[in-house]
Each structure stands twice: as structure tokens, then as C-alpha cells.
Chains A and B, each alone.
Chain A
Amino acid sequence: MTKPLLSIRNLHIQGRQDAGWQPIINGVNLDLNKGEVLGLIGESGAGKSTLGLAAMGYCRDGTRISQGTVTFDGMELLSLPERRRRRLRGARIAYVAQSAAAYFNPAHTLMKQFTEAPVDIHHIESQADAERHGRELYAQLRLPNPAEIGFRYPHQVSGGQLQRAMTAMAMACKPDLIIFDEPTTALDVTTQIEVLAAIRDAVRDIGTAAIYITHDLAVVAQMADRIKVLLRGDEIEEQPTRDMLANPQEEYSKSLWAVRQFRSEPNPEPAADECPVLRVAGISAEYVRDQPVLRNVSFDIHKGRTIAVVGESGSGKSTAARVITGLLPASKGRIELNGNVLPERLAQRSKDQLRQMQMIYQMADTALNPKQTIREIIGRPIQFYLGLRGRERDEKVRDLLTSIEMEPDRFIDRLPGELSGGQKQRIGIARALAAEPQFIICDEVTSALDQLVAEDILRLLKRLQNERGLAYMFITHDLATVRAIADHVVVMQNGEVMEQGSRDQMFTPPHHPYTKLLLSSVAEMDPDWLDHTLEQRKKAQTDVDN
């Protein structure tokens, strides 16, 4: 039996909290052979990134490795002096981070940063050799114009290209092990597929081993030979990818797999003559004169129904919400609330018009004032719109907390900082409900949450909709969410509506070409999905060429 390239034994990592040490990783074992890809999966706080960094013999400030061994190619990393470890990093073990934009130095070109490791730090190549090698890697990772892209600065390339440039940087010294920490999470689905394919092929070609960290099962299914599931610092199980997908053993793994199955009952189609709660009629809008970011957008939202506005970043879906709420006045078109035209600007709208329309935000962290208690956050709209004070107001806050499944006595006097991500999002929902609105805009409400938590939030929203007859506008880039909850889907690209229709229409062919691209880019649990999709696209392309 050959010795594994990386072997982690009984690793314990602790993080400093107040005066004591809290466990982050509790005795995890891990083996990785040469050329093998291991997927690490789990919710946020599971210790995936901490474990990934520990594989380089590194731990973040405020954490410490309290026990265990990390053996890389026969060397015990934890007992090596820091100087020796530094010589390994970048040369034999490399790291690719989630947001490439934050890791590149904006003042240097891509090529200069590429050559830094092999030339200036590890002295294994001459500048000219390193640059030639860089161009090869750029080509291998399918970056456009590989001969010249190295002359660009980080802000001059797109997010997906930057992520690939970072992967190229990690491969610069032909490392034996690369750690990918959520490399495609911040990307749009259509970009993600290209980056995934590029990374996978490059890893295969240079025969490096990799640890691939992600919370997205479908992604890890494409990339990894084996999958390890983590939960709060404990290993749940580890299996080869195909076995894991077909037959997860542990309850927790099964629950992760089941998440994507949630489907709401579709709401009945509205009567043809029913007046919509909100009508968006031919809206155009611009931030800079004569550069419209929205062009002639129209859709209706009916009582008790959910409309999903889907598109990639930059498609104008968030701008549409800004126009509806009055933050950005439209340059053309109008918005009607229950058949009455709404004034364009926020300041001109009446208190009752404002009350009817509420918003729930993507980042619950920034959506709640950290200095106000839950009582104040939920109580304020009640006081402001309904004029209730004192005991009456508190009664209402308690009712709302109960309806979002949080115990009033436990939570009413807490600050947002004392809540988990999912709980914060629930408070955001309660604040919107406190105004007793007819219509709520949900701006990517689940995309910052773990899958299990996100599903709970979707179920809650669905129940509240049934109870109160709310109309929702879901802004999202996640087609799984759309499939779970939408009655009506609006697909946007470059500020225009490409296609709209009921959920069933959208998910059954024939598709509009852009919808088809979006749909086919959503990763599926099938490990062969990436190959199939790429093959189909290639075939479609050759068909067009012929």
C-alpha cells in the first residue's frame, strides 16, 4: 500500500471565545492520495475552511491546533519550524480562496502576481520561463486571449476570469496539493459551469491532489472522487462520490440530500379580471442619463401568489425592486398598487402606500440595526403604521414572534448579534409582517443561508402566504428556490424581460435560449452532469457551425 500524500490524524482545533477555548474541529481524520480529489461538505460553521487551512499546517488568528498530526509527504507539518512550512506553501501546497477579488493586489497585473511565487519567493523558475508557463496555464484554464490577459489588472477582468487566474496562480509551482475553498460560490451559474470545467480538467492534467470545500452538493458531485461530510467539527461520514450520492448512510447526510426536494403547492391562477396587487407597466430606469439599466419591464403580481424574478448579477432584477419601492424613480412607465398609480418617488407616497409594500433583505446582518433590540425592531413599524404603543404594541410583537416560530420570552429583549443567521432572517420577516402589508419583496432572502435553514425560511414564507394572502416578489439567481416556491417566473437579462410564464411553463421545454442556458447551468446531483452538459453544448455549437 502506498503512503497517502496527506494524512491528518485525530485533529483538534479550538477557537478563542471570550476567556476560554471553544472546539471547532473535534478529532477529524483525513487521507488523501496523490492525484485524488476530496470534497469537504457541510454547513457554515462546520469547520470546512479551518480544516482546509490546517492541511497547510496553518491556523487563523484566534484559533489553535490543540492536538493531532498533519503529515504531508512524510513530513509532520505541525512540528516543522514556520520557515520550513512557508517554503512548502505556494510551492507544494497551494490555496484558492472564495473571493478572488479580495485576494488579488489591485496595483499589480495578473502576470506579475502569477510569477511572484515561482520567481521571487521559491526561485524555481526564471521570469521568462514563469511567464511562458503562466500563458500555458491561462490557456489550459480557458481564459480568453491567454497571451495577453496577463497584462491586465484584476479590475479589468470579470469575476469568473479572476477566479480562474487565481487557480492558475495556485498551479504556478506545480503543487502536489491544492485546497479550493468555495471557489465558485460567488459566481453566477452560467459562469460557474465554465470555471468548474476548467478547474477539473486542469487538476486532472497536472495530476495534483485537491481538497474541494463547498456547501453545494451538486458542485462537489462533479469535482470530487470522495466526499466527506462535516457537521460542527465532527466527521459524519465519508464515501466515494457515487456511493455517497446514491446511498448516504447517516441521517444528517440524508437531510442534506433531501433539501432540494422541497416543492410548494402552486397557488391557483388568478381570475382574468382580478386587479393585481402590483402592476409594473413598461418600466425603464437609468442611473446615468441615456444608459438604461431597465428597459420596458412589465409584470403583474396577484394576491396570494409568488412571482420570481430570475437573472444573473447585472440583469437588473434588484434595480426593478428599487424602482418599485420608489428609491429610484423610473424614467418611463408606471407602477400601480391595487389599480392606483403610485407616485414615483418615495417621499411622495402616502404612509398607507408605504405600509402595503415591505421588503426582506438578503443580508440579515446589515438589515437589522445592531443597536436595537428585537422589541424595538419589530415594534417600530407597529407603532409607526398602526399607532399602537406600550402594552398593545408589545402584545403584537409577541404574536409576531410566535408566528415566525420564535419564543417571545426568550428573544424579545435580545440584540441581533445574539441570534443565528436564520433567526435574524426570521426577524426580518417579522418586521415586514408588522406593517400588515399586502406585498413583500424578498431580495435573495435565502442565498446567504445554509440549505437546511434556507428551506425552513421558504416553508415559513409559504405558510405566512397561505395564512395572510400575501403576494411575494422573489428576487433570486437560484433556480432551486424558484422551482420550490414560485407561481410565476420572470427571466431577466441585461435589464430586459426575456421570458415570463407559470412555473410549469418555465421548467418544461421549449425554452427561450437564455432560459435554456440558465437551466442547463444549474448543477445537478448526477456526477456525470458536467460532462453531459458540456458535451451537449459542444454538439449544439458544432450543429450551429455546420
Chain B
Amino acid sequence: MKLRDLKSAPPTAWFGIVVIFAYAVVAIFAGQLAPFSQTTIVGMEFEPRSAEYLLGTDNLGRDLLSRMIWGARNSVGIALATTAIAFSLGAGLGLLAAVLGGWADQLLSRLIDMLIAIPSLLFALLLLSIFGTGITILIIVIAVLEMTRVFRLARAVAMDVVVMDFVEAARLRGEGLVWVIRREILPNIMAPLVAEFGLRFCFVFLAVSALSFLGLGIQPPTADWGSMVRDNAALITFGDITPLLPAAAIALLTVAINFVVDWMLHRTSGLRD
């Protein structure tokens, strides 16, 4: 992407970029920004907002603002890692299926179909209750489930490129599989894949949060936006919006990413207006 393109970006895209940048800063410098540690109990349970605890304290008396800040690193970090793995796996296999074709394509596609056929939340719950609830396992389970969508997209867009004469020319030259995939096909399907990366990231984020809310995702005392909603849910009944703040943090990031993705899709597909 060139700087020139950035300048012509619409305000919505700018908004998205700024928000994503802010989240990144908060996540990276969580240790410096947060006034307290994410696990220390600093006061009474459910203390109201004050000069000391800007957002009050949670159900165990931990500073909510600090946990929000740490949550940015934990939740966003995990979602990013998961999406990256889902993409490497899904795009890799999808490209392989498109280039090899024949039985390799059939085998991979049917396996993926099987994975898709199982409702993903149920499947995740099942796997997590079998393998336990560590962060690594969480990342792998969600990555495998999300990988299926990436596989389908990568395979479909790669199919359009595989039939091009320049791919045939590379094959006739005697180029290996890796070259054909990396140099001939991948640059031509980057645009939809990048757009999909943004969208997948949102879904992974929601999946992690949902599982955490159910108690199977990120385990206490690690701060995580999903579980923070659950922990403080009781406050809602007293008309306090505090539990909605972590939810709002998730929503804002999702919207921001979608703005950026929309802009990129528009740019690459050459759509105007």
C-alpha cells in the first residue's frame, strides 16, 4: 500500500486506522499505561468510579481500568495469533488444493466440508472439554475452526488464477510448486485474502470472547474482555453500565477493522462511490 492511497482514504477508513493504532499502543504498552497490575486486589468489591479507580473496581476489588488495559493485550493478542495461524493453515491448504487439483483437491475439500458441517461453537466446546482450557489449546481449536472459511476463500480465488496462461507458462518452464504458489498465484489473490484477514480477525475475537464468557476461554485471573463482561454482569441490574465497557471495546475494534477492510475492498475491486 502506498502513502498516496492513504491520503485519499475516506474518513471512515481514517477513523478505523486511528482506532486500531490506539488499540495497538495500549496493548503493547499495557505494563506502562495501567495504574495497577491486572491481578492485584486493590480495594473493595464493586467500588464506584473515583479519582483513584477511574472505572471503579470489579467483583473481586481489582481496578477495572487496569484490567481493561491488560485485556487489550490478552484478548487482541490471542485473536491476532489465532487469526495468523488460521490464515497460514487455511490459505496454505487452499492454495495447495487449487494448484494440485484432482484427488488432492477432493480430499482436502471434503475434509474441510466435514469440519464446516459441525456447528463450530459446539465443536469448540467439545474439544476444549476434552483437551482442557489452556491458552495454547484455545488458540489451536479456534484457529482450526476458522481455517475452514479461509481455505474455501483461498481455494476459490486461487482457482481463478490457476487457469491463467502465466501459471501454465511457469509450469512449462519447470517451476516447482512453491514458486508457482508464492510468486505466480499469491500476489494475485492478496487483496481478497487481506480483506478476509480483517473480517476473520473480528470473528475470532468474538469467538474467544464468547468462549471466555462461557468460562472455557481465557482463564481467571488473566484479564480478558469477554470474561470481564461475565464477572461484572450483576452490575447491570443496578443500572450501571460498567460491564458494557469491555463489550464496547470489542465492538469498537470490530467496527474499526470493518471500516478499514471495506475501504481496502473498495480500492482493490476498483469500485467507486
**Which chain A residues have a beta carbon within 8 Å of chain B's beta carbons?**
325-327, 346, 349, 351, 354, 357-359, 361, 363, 366-372, 380-381, 384-385, 431, 435
Contact = CB atoms under 8 A, between A and B. Distances in A.
Given A346-B172, A367-B165, 11 more contacts: A327-B172, A346-B174, A351-B174, A354-B172, A368-B166, A369-B164, A369-B187, A369-B188, A371-B187, A385-B173, A431-B169
Nearest to A367: B165
Contact of B168 (A327, A351, A381, A435): A327
Contacts of A381: 173
Contacts of B113: none
B174 A354 contact: yes
Given A369-B187, A369-B188, A359 B172 contact: yes
Given A371-B187, A371-B188, A366 B172 contact: no
Contacts of B172: 325-327, 346, 354, 357-359
Contacts of B173: 354, 380-381, 384-385, 435
6 contacts: A326-B172, A359-B169, A367-B169, A369-B187, A372-B187, A381-B173
Contacts of B168: 327
A363 B165 contact: yes
A349 B172 CA distance: 10
Residue picked from B164, B172, B187, B188, most chain A C-beta under 10 Å: B172
Contacts of A384: 173-175
B169 to A, nearest CB: 6
B171 interface: yes
A346 B170 CA distance: 12
B76 to A, nearest CB: 31
Contact of A366 (B165, B175, B187): B165
A485 B184 CA distance: 33
A327 B166 CA distance: 14
Nearest to A350: B174
Interface of B: 164-166, 168-169, 171-175, 183-184, 187-188
Contacts of A366: 164-166
A323 to B, nearest CB: 13
A370 B190 CA distance: 13
Given A359-B169, A361-B165, A363-B165, A370 B188 contact: yes
B252 to A, nearest CB: 34
A369 B186 CA distance: 11
B9 to A, nearest CB: 16
A118 B174 CA distance: 57
A490 to B, nearest CB: 22
Interface SS of B by simple majority: helix
A363 B168 CA distance: 13
Contacts of A435: 173
Contacts of A361: 165, 169
A385 B187 CA distance: 23
A370 B183 CA distance: 11
A346 B173 CA distance: 9
A141 to B, nearest CB: 35
A349 B165 contact: no
Contacts of A367: 164-166, 169
B188 to A, nearest CB: 6
A359 B174 CA distance: 13
Nearest to B167: A369
B14 to A, nearest CB: 20
Nearest to A16: B272
Contacts of A359: 169, 172
B181 to A, nearest CB: 13
Contacts of B174: 346, 349, 351, 354, 384
Contacts of B171: 327, 346
Nearest to B190: A371
A377 to B, nearest CB: 8
Nearest to A381: B173
B196 to A, nearest CB: 18
B219 to A, nearest CB: 45
A445 B237 CA distance: 75
B100 to A, nearest CB: 12
Nearest to A363: B165
A366 B174 CA distance: 19
Contacts of A385: 173
Contacts of A357: 172
Contacts of B188: 369-371
B271 to A, nearest CB: 12
B175 A369 contact: no
Contact of B166 (A346, A354, A369): A369
A381 B164 CA distance: 18
Contacts of A354: 172-174
A390 B111 CA distance: 44
A381 B179 CA distance: 13
B171 to A, nearest CB: 7
A359 B170 CA distance: 11
Nearest to B186: A371
Contacts of B165: 361, 363, 366-367
A224 to B, nearest CB: 36
B269 to A, nearest CB: 15
Contacts of A325: 172
A328 to B, nearest CB: 12
Nearest to B185: A369
A370 B166 CA distance: 9
A362 to B, nearest CB: 8
Nearest to A376: B183
A359 B164 CA distance: 14
A521 B165 CA distance: 31
A134 B3 CA distance: 60
Contacts of B183: 372
A370 B167 CA distance: 11
A367 B170 CA distance: 10
A346 B171 CA distance: 8
A325 B170 CA distance: 12
A367 B175 CA distance: 16
A385 B164 CA distance: 22
A385 B175 CA distance: 10
B57 to A, nearest CB: 54
Contacts of A346: 171-172, 174
Nearest to A368: B166
Contacts of B184: 369
A361 B174 CA distance: 17
Contacts of A431: 169
A357 B165 CA distance: 16
A345 to B, nearest CB: 12
The interface centre, meaning the residue of B164, B183, B187 with most chain A CB atoms within 10 A of its CB, is B164
A283 B148 CA distance: 44
B167 to A, nearest CB: 8
Nearest to A380: B173
A206 B27 CA distance: 77
B231 to A, nearest CB: 49
B45 to A, nearest CB: 58
Sorted nearest first, the 7 A-B pairs with minimum C-beta distance are: A371-B187, A367-B165, A369-B166, A361-B165, A354-B174, A366-B165, A366-B164
